[in-house]
Amino acid sequence: MTTFTATYKRTRIPTTTVSYNTVSREYKAIVNVTGLDPDRTTSGEESLQGIVSLNPPTVVEESIRGLTDLAIQAVANSAYSTRGFRFGPNELATVSYSVSYAIQGAIELIEAEQLS
């Protein structure tokens, strides 16, 4: 079993670790966002979708697009559980951009590792 793992860490972007398992062909992303402390665990529906944890937001998915979408949803759900209210449009856009950017950065590091 071969698993490639990379952590993307930049200022003002959540530190994100992405793993790719070449046997199961699944990606796993752990998004570390400062200040999240959800007061619940994942629901059954979230688990079925691929959200493994809300603290820290952790997701498993077979496609990069699906991984990114689930990670954004997991961060939003974790924030809702922490704050008690949903993101507004500007907050959601910022979170979506930050999480997407971090996952793409980690994927690029994994691709470079696979080529070496």
CA distances from 100 to 44, 55, 103 (A): 25, 18, 5
Burial category of 35 from C-beta neighbours within 10 Å (exposed 0-12, middle 13-18, buried 19 and up): exposed
The residues, ordered by sequence, that sit 6+ positions from 64 with a Cβ below 8 Å of its Cβ are 27, 103, 107
- Give CA–CA dist 56/99, Å, rounded: 13
pLDDT at 52: 97
Q: Is the predicted pLDDT of residue 115 greater than 90, yes or no?
A: no
What integer is the mean pLDDT of 92-101? 96
Looking at the predicted structure, is the pLDDT value of residue 116 above 80? no
- Average pLDDT of the segment spanning 22-41: 95
Q: What is the pLDDT of residue 1?
A: 61
Share of the chain above pLDDT 70, in %: 99
The pLDDT mean for the chain works out to 95
Q: From the CA atom positions of the chain, what is the Rg in Å?
A: 14
Q: Say what the pLDDT of residue 19 is.
A: 97
**With the C-alpha atoms ordered 59, 26, 63, 17, is the resulting torsion angle positive or negative?**
positive
pLDDT confidence bin for 28, thresholds 50/70/90: very high
Count other Cβ atoms within 10 Å, centred on residue 67: 23
CA atoms within 13 A on the CB side of 15: 6
Identify which of 64, 80, 81, 72 has the alpha carbon closest to the alpha carbon of residue 26: 64
